[in-house]
Structure 1
Amino acid sequence: MFCPLIATLIAVLLSCSLSLSDLIASSPELMVHMGDSALLGCKFQSTEEKPLIKVDWLFSSGEHVKNEYVMYYYSNLSVPVGRFKNRARLVGDILRSDGSLLLENVQEADRGNFSCEIRRQGENVVVKKKVQVHVLPELLREFEVHVGDSAQMGCVFHSTEKKQMTEVRWTFSSGQGAKEESVLHYDYKFNKPMGYPQGQGRFQNRVALVGDTFHNDASIMLQRVKVSDQGNYTCRIYLGNVVFRKTMTLQAIQKDSRSTSGPEGLGGNQLVIIVGIICTTLLLLPVLILIVKRSHRNTSSVNSTAMVKSLEKTGMDTPEKHIYFSVPPWDVGEEEPSGQSEATYMTMYPILPSLRSDPNNSLEKKSSARTLKTEPTF
């Protein structure tokens, strides 16, 4: 009698043990930049797929803090509540025991633990799973790029589930109400970027996919930025039925005119100023030449006058020296034929140095040959 009861009890314990194994779930951590979206996975791990009849998501900012509802699902209806009303939606496949949540526009206040509680149809076991979310500073969404430079625009999808993105689309719009044009299209099936046909599209050969597609990174690099590239760029990442979207704004600015050469780097006012300076210089050039000539002439005249005065002053400071010579008188003992004594006079003549230096000078010979003139004394 007790054997059937024991067998039944063992079967119940085994079923409970199997159910308890389904309750064990990991608690992953997820790094999300503020303003981005995040996929918080919550899937019932079982070989048997059953639809979910209950899904609850709750949030707690820390220990001993009251939980607040993020959203709940009941009777084929998902309802986000509170401050998550316009930012949370159920994206998991309910029919396949998947109650994953997409949290959009992550905020600083979303830092904490998100918990999901799911229950499958025909079962009373509730499976719980936690995801710890860390909020990082917001990435730049509006940035300036100089014309001619390159711009890298990031687009990364954060998820606790290892899902391979199936498609990436980048579009461009110059402003509100403007028609979108394709920048880049990536299809995982072809494993290569798909864009405009060859020879069409102004982004052709200027944009490249630089992100790691295996880690849901769809970042692109736009090369040789033009003024017409200024506007809004939208990235869309597809992971099955989940779509992540991010928009950023690019402003193309001209480089500093001091670092550019040629008329392209000059503004309208600068060009007018330069032209005015050139015209004024051409008009004043003859006047400047005349002033320079007169100044040069006056300088030459002053130099000539100063040189003449200097020579005159030198002549006055160093007067010419005269050299005299004496003619010896007649001997006293000698007498004139007349026998009378006469007084002796000596006449001195100046001899220039130039004349004296010349031994053949006739003037010097005449002077030395002169005789003394005597007059009788009574």
Structure 2
Amino acid sequence: MIILLLICCMSTLSGLVVHNLSALVRDNILLPCDLMSNNTAENMTVTWKLNNTDRQVHRYKGGRDMNDRQCPDYKGRTTLSKLDLNTGNASLKLANVTMADGVEYICSIQIGNGSEQVKALVKVEVKVPMLGPAVPVTVTATVGQDLHLPCHLSPNITAEGMAITWLLKRTGKRVLRYENDCYKGGLDAYRGRVALLKEEVRRGNATLRLTGVKLSDEAEYVCSIEDEHWHGNISVQLKVKGLEVRGPQQSVTALVREDILLPCYLVPNSSAESMVVTWKLNNTGRLVHLYKDGRDMNDQQYPDYRGRTTLSKVALHNGNASLKLANVQMSDHGDYTCLIQDGSWRHQLTMHVEVKGKQIDTAHAWRAGFGIMFVLALALATALALLLYHVRRRLKGRVYFLFMHYFMYRTEQYKMEY
């Protein structure tokens, strides 16, 4: 599509028509040259060249283009319409305007073997597009959200064929580069999370889509668009909000030899799997547990805690960095710090752990003792009853024997007396 952006002025000097044109880089423009009559220019010689030079931009002769002497900078970018030539219109289409095209052009026509007549002088001013938004922009997002960082050409011209680069302003490190319809690598932290909208690139829109926002994504970003003749850039600030580390408001109480959970979690819920979680005992600085690079790294862990601490990866996925401490000891008493880090972001909380020894329940002990004594007493009473029963039986038999023996003795005596 041919776009003629602005005709600032058209005047006539000694039969020469002067045109002042303004165009944007990468636009297509029409350099006007009219015979001012309906005479066909099909059999004429039409020459376009740079003013005050012999550098040929386009030449038409003998019913066809003859560009063997054409300046290389214009190769493949100029067109004369034969249909327009039939009506005396020798305007030249110049495609894909560059900054170097901002010069003066002369259109001349030669009829037969006659002298060459200059018909038009076209002055072209090439302007670069501006990058928008025109005012500084701050985009605010919460962790885990998907967002767009705006960047576009103004006015809207295609950005195809241009190189689009997004980078971090503070470090200059590349987040993404898009060139020749291909992505080129950037920082690993953004891999698989950034992209351009390809359909929008054709409309000059270089907005960056960033998915799964992390705390470490908070930074100032630079959008840069360039081709061989022009470049421009803008900055976009990204603010990531909403994450806090929270835990218990009061002391955590534990009994010796029991297992406890020390609460520590992110609000709102956001995966802590890729973050660094550090648990320490405050008053001594001893390392209780360290989670980093997606795994436990406890080679520097204080020996007293070895094998007794656990972080759940399932819980970490939901932003829960609570520490399980098994087989609590009296030495575990103190203030513990839970520190969570993600890039330059860090937040921590401190909680007090009070350890108590197990106490005996005296009432329960008395009840248990009484029960045992009752059972023992019952057993003893039963044993005594059985013993008395057997003794009585044995005694009863003995008494009967003595009685019968005495009775028989007295009977014999009685008989002897009488």
Higher gyration radius (CA): 1
Q: What TM-score comes out, normalization by structure 2 length?
A: 0.36
Q: What's the TM-score, normalizing by structure 1?
A: 0.39
> More helix by proportion, 1 or 2?
1
